[in-house]
Amino acid sequence: MKRLIIIFMLIFVSSAYCQESIINVFPENVYNGDAFLITVKTTATPTAIFLGKDIQFFKINDESFIGIGITLMETPQLTHDIMIRADGKQYVAKIAVQKKDFAQIAITLPDEKVFPAEESLKRIREERKTLDEILQKVTPPVWEGNFILPINNGVSTEFGVMRIINGIKNSVHYGIDYKGALDEPIKAVNSGRVVLATNLFFEGNTTIIDHGAGIFSIYMHMSNMTKKTGYLVKKHDIIGYVGKSGRATGPHLHLSIKVNSISVNPESIYALPLSVTK
């Protein structure tokens, strides 16, 4: 019996050491709506499942892969298992999702921007279809180092805020509004390819950049856009200027970050050590 116990302890320690050295999750604790990073040291492409969905991995060097996980707004105050398979072995990593209480604000907009006419609804449906098709695509990572702020003026509306529009309509703010003067320049938060640069009903003049691995940055309400669809941009490049186009009450930049078609808090992307890819 003692021998069996000793053998079991050796196996347990070995597995724990292997998991710690092979798999890293950053950070271990996140808020609902955040993204997190998984790196796996392995020779073959790993697989992982989180919240019932596959996480896609991309090779970053001869022995490591990277994947971006997403927490949902509806999953706070829980510790979740991340099932990871690498080199024929299965591991379980854990991540704790802390509950964050989001504020509630009231805003007033022209009725036509809140309750569009039938003709506008047709346009909106077509735009949603186009956006869904774009944001579902997953390409290899092309970002360079960590993500940066698009404009450094402070925040006017944080991610996750519940907005009561015209006293009736509820709307969750799935992005960050940055303060900005009219026609102030906006920088690309990282390198990538412009996959859309057009005017949308709600979003106004909008530019979308594909950074790879399912990560897209979306810049809304601009006065002017400087990069056309298909253009390759570098981090810090000027892609447009602050405006108030679309459904906006005044000049500002609304930035959304999508990961695998799901909106995440941009601040969680800024915090990830994505410089591991370059």
More confident residue, 92 or 7: 92
CA distance 204 to 179: 17
Please state which of the four CATH numbers 3.20.20.70, 2.70.70.10, 1.20.1250.20, 3.40.50.300 is assigned to the domain occupying 104-277: 2.70.70.10
Asked if residue 68 has pLDDT above 70, the reply is: yes
CA distances from 31 to 44, 152, 157 (A): 31, 23, 18
Instruction: Please say whether the dihedral angle defined by the alpha carbons of residues 238, 131, 272 and 74, taken in this order, is positive or negative.
Output: positive
Q: What is the pTM of this model?
A: 0.88
Both structure tokens of 189: 């938060």
Percent of the chain with pLDDT over 70: 91
Q: What is the average pLDDT value for the chain, to the nearest integer?
A: 88
CATH domain 2-98 topology:
Immunoglobulin-like (2.60.40)
Lowest average pLDDT, out of 11-15, 117-121, 197-201, 218-222, goes to 11-15
Domain boundaries, the chain: 2-98, 104-277
Dihedral angle computed from the Cα positions of residues 193, 199, 205 and 209, in that order, rounded to the nearest 10 degrees: -10
More confident residue, 57 or 74: 57
Q: Is residue 175 very low, low, confident or very high in pLDDT (cuts 50, 70, 90)? A: very high
Peptide bond into 27 cis (omega under 30): yes
Asked if residue 32 has pLDDT above 70, the reply is: yes
Q: What mean pLDDT comes out for the span 195-218?
A: 97
Both structure tokens of 81: 């298992």
